[in-house]
Structure 1
Amino acid sequence: MDAVTKDAPNSLLHRFADWFPGLKLFTHYQRIWFKDDLRAALSVTAVALPVAIAYAQLTGVNAVVGLYSCVLPMLVYALFGSSRQLIVGPDAATCAVLAAVVTPLAAGDPQRHWQLVMTMTFMTGVWCLLASRFRIGVLAEFLSKPILMGLLNGVAITIIVGQFSKILGFRYQEPYLLERLLHTPQYLAQTHWYTLAIALLTLMFFILAKLMRPHWPAAMIAIAVATYVSWALSLSEDGVAVVGNIASGLPDFQAPVFELGLMRELVMPALNLAMVSFISMMLTARSFAAKNGYDIDADKEFRALGLANIAAAAAQGFAVSGADSRTAVNDANGGKTQLVSVISALIILVIILFATAPLAYIPASALGVVLVIASISLIDIKALWRLRKRDNGAFTLAVITLLAVLFIGVIPGITLAVLLGLFQFLKVVMRPDDQVLGINQKGILRSLGKSDKVKPIAGILIYRFNSPLTYFNAVYFKRRLLTRIADQSPPVETVIVDAVSCFSHLDLSVMAMIDELYRQLKTQGITLILAGRKRELLAWCEASGVDTGDGGIVIRPDLTMAVRMLQNYKAAVSQGLAPQVRKQDDPDEVLAHSLL
């Protein structure tokens, strides 16, 4: 009774720590960390402010919505996230996806556009929570790194072309990138020179700040200069587009749109957005976790991302993800814990409550420059090209994804990327590599290759299939094994299959194939031995009606044991020492007796 009472609080504490990794870290917070966390928080805020406003413009909502999207999600992730350095917030890829999905559905109604953005953000969070609940974070890895590279490059180029209209002061009439590029000469003729001048001024001060003070927030400095010039010269009266008035204080709550027809339109895009956001976040989180010497949990991160997105929707904001630029700023300034997110969120909240008036004069072209600079950081054509030398198949996948995003749109491109990732996975599982094993001079089993150090064992084929056997690759397994047997010289007398590498679960289709294979080999005078997973295989064979008794499939504990027992038994037979095997005898006992 005492033991049960004692274990109950421990179990409760363990569950509490499992749900709130960040809070667990705060309970062990060291005072010496605070100075570094405060410095990092100020730097993160300086970068996050202009970026959040710019991403709100990209999403198609009011600038202050970008700030709403920072506060509550950052606080939520600080409690539920397992990464100490990751900063969540608006992200270029997620905002581009939101805009691509919601804009056609909103039909030009700004209020409906905002509501649909919140709805899709909420649905994205729900998908993330479901993925975490069923521990299927691995599914997000269908988007392999080459596919994600192609996707991010395509999204970045799409954003850059889209921002040219704000930088040059015109409005695109075409929704797709290819058509916009084809009409470039006509659009260049519509350039608004004051707007372009402000954009160039922003770019100049950004470059100067980077060159003269690399550790200062260059984007904020450039935006501040452009805003001051816009206010001082009243450039809005000369046709320069600005953010416009932003009401201070917390937003009036409005519920997301839950119309059944619109929900159908948003279900799959929200799933795609959840996967892209999670994978992008995990690449950032894992890299900084490895750098700082700790591990993160993929399913906990999926849950934290889901809760952060639901929090963003509740705060009247839009979808968030792991922000690589702000995370890098956090790490570079020595941020130790998620207290950085808490402090930064509180500073942004103060700005929302009391200091939104100056934001009204921010030129849209200055925000366009910030978005272009942020998007350029996503483009990595050199890394894409290096894939061509390392892995031509991965390079092809990346290029297909890139072209799909550019020419058929962001959402179809993401859908294609997910399908490509799924097909890539199925190809590996359905058509895996296989090997024939031999023995080296030290008596160790190794794969046969071009080297002469590993020799095949006369009369014995040792086969390894490098994928779990299931109903959709069972026929391929059988075909490959029979091909290997036919190619073997001298003729094969015994086939030993490495069961550890391919028998992972009971599949009745697989067991039926094994029974057919055993009978086919038996007609050729070939013995079939399965090596490894002896207890599981005996149980599965019994459940499937596959014979493992006298004259049936032989099952051994492992490869080495199978080879040794077979060789010793052959040696005993050649010397007339092997006993007559009776039907009631256990084959292992007979062989063990022959070794004595």
Structure 2
Amino acid sequence: MIRLPCQDWLRHYNRQTMCSDLVAALIVTIMLIPQSLAYALLAGLPPEMGLYASILPLVAYAIFGTSRTLSVGPVAVVSLMTATAVGKVAHQGTVDYATAAIALALLSGLVLLLLGFLRFGFVTNFLSHPVVSGFITASGIIIALSQLSHILGIDAPGETLPELLHALAIKLSMTNLHTLAVGSFCLLFLYLSRRYLAALLTQLGLSQLLSETLAKTAPVAAIIMSILIAYAADLDSKGVAVVGTIPQGLPAFAQPHINWEVFNDLILPAFLIALIGFIESVSVGRTLGAKRRERIDANQELIGLGAANVASAFSGGFPVTGGFSRSVVNFDAGAKTQAASAFTALGIAIAALLLTPALYYLPKATLAATIVIAVSSLIDWRIVRDAWHYDHADFLAIAITILLTLLLGVEIGVISGVTASIALHLYRTMRPHFAIVGTVPGTEHYRNIDRHEVQTHANILSIRIDESLYFANAAFLEELVDTELEQREGVEHVILMCPAVNTIDLSALEALQSVNTSLLERNVKLHLSEVKGPVMDALKRSAFLRQLGGSVYLSHHAAVLELALES
């Protein structure tokens, strides 16, 4: 049975909550209109598709999603990934290109729904947060560079850092000065507004909340000013690219065109977009949910985001996910439930019906400037610095992800990020931390002999294993016991202290059997202590306990006391 999380908040919905949601919806609508247009430009699609992707998807997520404040729609990284994927199967500006983008949204939605029904919410664990930050940082750099061509008024396509830099260098002499003036003005205005406007308005006597809200509407002001300037100065005739005619009206609800050959080409990009979108969305949802003690169900989020992408496809949009900036604005503006997203969808629909003619003279350089400022917050070099100081293995994973994303593109970047995360996990667990332990005098506690003053017994080698045992570290266990025994004389008993061992797979079981056999040949007995119940249950299903030379003890202290007396 499909769960409808919206029922949880609809039961207690009242007038006060509706007023809060309406205010938040108004603010997010004002913010989302320029973002939707800009991200459609980033994806290489007609601007109206950005509006279409901001209507029905919001309603679908409001019904099926679990976060009460997450705002769904086009986002920068997913738009870039859309452009990369669709550009391989169709030429930008053609009907086939838009059709392929719609098909990509459908495929992404179906992938998310399938993962949701299979309860694969744990896929978020495949990418570590530092690696995701590295990928987003590299994507932000590519996005910003890709928009410079619109600000300069030149055609400089590219999907990687070398391609973009080469194209920009070649075409730089063809810069349209009028376009550069508009783009530079918008960049400066948006930068100053983001950094100083809220503080300035607060000094003028406005409340902090109102000041911050007005500062976030700066892109709308930039759009209005640039439209008026472009119209008054007839910039269209001077080579400044404008948005042009945007179809007026609501999107037609229709079944996406299915081309199985195109579907086959897009299935891998669809999975990668679904993965990145899901991870970004859940991260934002959990961050906001923690502030109100609201629980985010990862499996249900797959359903909610899947429904949003399918809705986008059926209404002529492209892939969507939960956006950080608009979700934070939605939260800060006082949204209480997903009704705010439904009201936002209504506001975008009204804009699509009434406001599109006014956008004819909107310079594309303005939208490009909006994107550059928006993605500047995605570029986070701090995570690289912190990783270098904290853990060189993390730093290496982040560096590989960033470099491959910049040099080979976002799809390779995602794959490298997943690979780096898995490799990092395997690296850390294939050589698990262990400690030779002894008794803290006067207690029953056991600590690392290299860190504490402890008591040991010459006939006992106590090894604490601080990791589950599985195929990747099974061989390490054998090497560890052999190495430690070679360094000691008179050892009669080896005790493996297992409080941190949550699982022992078949490979590790075979390694334990090998260790047991090897020790028996040396007249040394193998013992286990503090074995967890599920691990003990698994061992009982094998022949290991019958072959074990020693015993299994409930506590390590009991094992040491008994075996020390035998010496």
TM-score (norm 1): 0.86
2 CA distance for matches of 1:117 and 1:273?
Answer: 12
Aligned length: 551
2:544 matched residue in structure 1: 546
1:50 to 20, 34, 38: 34
Equivalent position of 2:22 in the other structure: 38
Instruction: Report the Cα offset of residue 443 of structure 1.
Output: 2.1
Is the Cα–Cα contact under 8 Å of residues 436 and 462 in structure 1 kept in the other structure?
A: yes
Query: What's 1:405 paired with?
Result: 405
Shift of 1:353: 2.6
Match of residue 493 from structure 1: 492
Mapping for residues 500-515 of structure 1, pairs under 5 Å = 500-502=499-501, 504=503, 507-515=505-513
Quote the offset at 1:208 in angstroms. Answer: 5.8
Secondary structure (helix, strand or coil) at the match of 2:55 reads: helix
Q: In the alignment, what sits opposite 1:516?
A: 514
| Aligned mates of 2:534, 2:329 — CA distance in 1 | 52
Bigger mean CA offset, 208-217 vs 64-73: 208-217
Moved over 6 A (4+): none
Quickly say closer, same or farther: Cα 1:491–1:99, change in 2 above 3 A. farther
Alignment of 1:62-77 (within 5 A): 62-77=46-61
Q: Give the letter aligned to residue 171 of structure 1.
A: D
Unaligned stretches of 5+ residues in structure 2 = 202-211
Deviations 1:511-562 (A, max 9, x none): 333222211111112111223447656654454333527x745223x333xx
Q: Look up the match of 1:26.
A: 10
Residue matched to 1:312: 312
Task: Give the deviation of 1:55 after TM superposition.
Answer: 0.2
1:336-394: per-residue Cα shift (whole Å, max 9, x none)? 22222111111111222333211222110100000110111111123322322122221
Q: Which residue of 2 aligns with 1:231?
A: 231
Indicate if the aligned counterparts of 2:103 and 2:258 stay in contact, CA closer than 8 A. Answer: yes
Counterpart amino acid of 1:559? Answer: S
- Deviation string for 1:294-318 (max 9, x for gaps)? 3322222222222211221122111
Q: Please state whether the residue corresponding to 1:432 is helix, strand or coil.
A: coil
SS for the counterpart of 1:79 is: helix
Q: Which residue of 2 aligns with 1:250?
A: 250
Number of the residue aligned with 1:579 = none
Residue by residue over 1:306-337, the C-alpha shift from the partner in whole angstroms, topping out at 9 and shown as x without a partner, is: 22112211221111112111111112222222
Please say if residues 201 and 226 of structure 1, whose CA atoms lie closer than 8 Å, have aligned partners that are also in contact: no
Q: Deviations over 1:447-470 (max 9, x none)?
A: 305333333344222323333222
CA–CA distance in 2 between the matches of 1:328 and 1:387? 26
CA distance in 1, matches of 2:183, 2:343: 31
Structure 1: unaligned runs, 5 residues or longer: 1-14, 575-596
Q: Which residue of the partner structure matches residue 292 of structure 1? A: 292
Measure, in 1, the Cα distance between the counterparts of 2:536 and 2:146: 63
Query: Residue 387 and residue 516 in structure 1: after superposition, are their counterparts in 2 closer, same or farther (change >3 A)?
Result: closer
What SS does structure 2 have at the residue aligned with 1:438? strand
Q: 1:442 to 1:362 in 2, by over 3 A?
A: farther
1:196-250 Cα deviation digits (max 9, x unpaired): 2222332344356542554210111111111122233332222211112112223
Asked if 2 retains the 8 angstrom alpha-carbon contact of 1:116 and 1:256, the reply is no
Separation (CA, whole Å) in 2 of partners of 1:490 and 1:347? 79
Pairwise mapping of residues 377-388 of structure 1 onto structure 2 (< 5 A)?
Answer: 377-388=377-388
Q: 1:570 to 1:407 in 2, by over 3 A?
A: closer
**Do 1:160 and 1:371's aligned partners in 2 also have CA atoms closer than 8 Å?**
yes
Distance 2:97 2:360 in 1: 21
Q: Can you list the C-alpha shifts for 1:29-72, whole angstroms capped at 9, x where unaligned?
A: 34333333222211111111100100001111111111111111
Letter paired with 1:21: P
1:559 equivalent in alignment to 2:555: yes
Q: After superposition, what is the alpha-carbon deviation per residue over 1:7-30, rounded to whole angstroms, capped at 9, x for unaligned?
A: xxxxxxxx77xx222331221234
Kindly report the root-mean-square deviation, in angstroms, between the aligned alpha carbons of the 2 structures: 2.4
Measured in 1, the distance between the counterparts of 2:410 and 2:532 equals 50
Q: 2:43 touches 2:80 (CA, 8 Å); kept in 1?
A: yes
Corresponding position of 2:145:
161
- Flag the 1:208–1:416 CA change in 2: closer, same or farther, 3 A: closer
Displacement, 1:501?
2.8
Residue aligned with 2:526, SS: strand
Q: What is the letter of the counterpart of residue 97 of structure 2?
A: H
User: Do the aligned partners of 1:548 and 1:555 also contact (CA within 8 Å) in 2?
Assistant: no
The answer to whether structure 1 residue 474 and structure 2 residue 471 are counterparts is no
The residue that corresponds to 2:70 in the other structure is 86
The one-letter code of the counterpart of 1:37 is D
Mapped contact 1:84–1:337 kept (Cα < 8 A): yes
Equivalent-residue separation in structure 2 for 1:500 and 1:302 (angstroms): 35
Give the corresponding residue for 1:59: 43
Distance, in Å, in 2 between the alignment partners of 1:95 and 1:412 is: 16
Letter in 2 for 1:339: A
Change (3 A) 1:569 1:191: closer
1:8 matched residue in structure 2: none
Contact 2:190/2:373 (<8 A) preserved:
no
Mapped to 2, the partners of 1:302 and 1:446 lie a distance apart of 45
CA–CA separation in structure 2 for the residues paired with 1:493 and 1:38: 75
When residues 252 and 343 of structure 1 are mapped into structure 2, their CA distance, relative to the original with a 3 A threshold, is closer
Question: 2:95 maps to which residue?
Answer: 111
Q: Which moved more, 1:465-474 or 1:215-224?
A: 465-474
What amino acid maps onto 1:284 in structure 2? V
Alignment partner, residue 208 of structure 2: none
Q: 1:400-452: per-residue Cα shift (whole Å, max 9, x none)?
A: 21111111111112211111112112223322222233221342333305333
**Which structure 2 residues correspond to residues 329-368 of structure 1 after superposition, within 5 A?**
329-368=329-368
Q: Which whole-Å CA distance do the structure 2 matches of 1:531 and 1:452 have between them?
A: 21
Cα 1:460–1:219 change in 2 (3 A) is same
* 8 Å CA contact retained: 2:60, 2:311: yes
| Matched-pair contact (CA < 8 Å) for 1:94–1:319 | yes
Q: Which residue of the partner structure matches residue 189 of structure 1?
A: 173
Amino acid at match of 1:288: L
Once the two structures are TM-superposed, the CA of residue 254 in structure 1 deviates from its matched residue by 5.4
Larger deviation, residues 361-370 vs 495-504? 495-504
Secondary structure class of the residue paired with 1:513: helix
Distance 1:139 1:364 in 2: 37
Distance 2:248 2:95 in 1: 18
Deviations 1:256-279 (A, max 9, x none): 454343333222222221221122
Moved more, 513-522 or 199-208: 199-208
**Contact preservation (8 Å) 2:394, 2:424:** no
Q: The residue matched to 1:104 in structure 2 has which SS?
A: coil
Structure 1 pair 382–471 and aligned structure 2 pair: CA distance change class (3 A): closer
User: How far, CA to CA, are the matches of 1:256 and 1:495 in structure 2?
Assistant: 66
1:59–1:96 Cα contact (<8 Å) kept: yes
Change (3 A) 1:336 1:196: same
Aligned to 1:4: none
Distance in 1 between residues matched to 2:559 and 2:435, nearest whole Å = 22
2:422 aligned partner: 422
Output the CA distance in 1 between the equivalents of 2:50 and 2:325: 16
Residue identity in the other structure for 1:555: V
Measured at CA, do residues 69 and 536 of structure 1 come closer, stay the same or move farther in structure 2, by a change above 3 Å?
Answer: closer
Q: Which amino acid aligns with 2:311?
A: A
Which of 139, 157, 162 in structure 2 is aligned with 1:178? 162
Shift in Å at residue 183 of structure 1?
4.7
1:27 aligned partner, one-letter code? R
Is the CA contact 1:437–1:445 (under 8 Å) kept in the aligned structure 2?
Answer: no
Return the offset for 1:187: 2.1
Contact 2:246 2:357 (C-alpha < 8 Å) held by counterparts: yes
Change (3 A) 1:548 1:196: same
CA 1:516/1:101 → structure 2, altered by over 3 Å: closer, same or farther? same
In 2: Cα distance, 1:392 partner to 1:491 partner? 39
Equivalent-residue separation in structure 2 for 1:442 and 1:135 (angstroms): 50
SS of 1:83's partner is coil
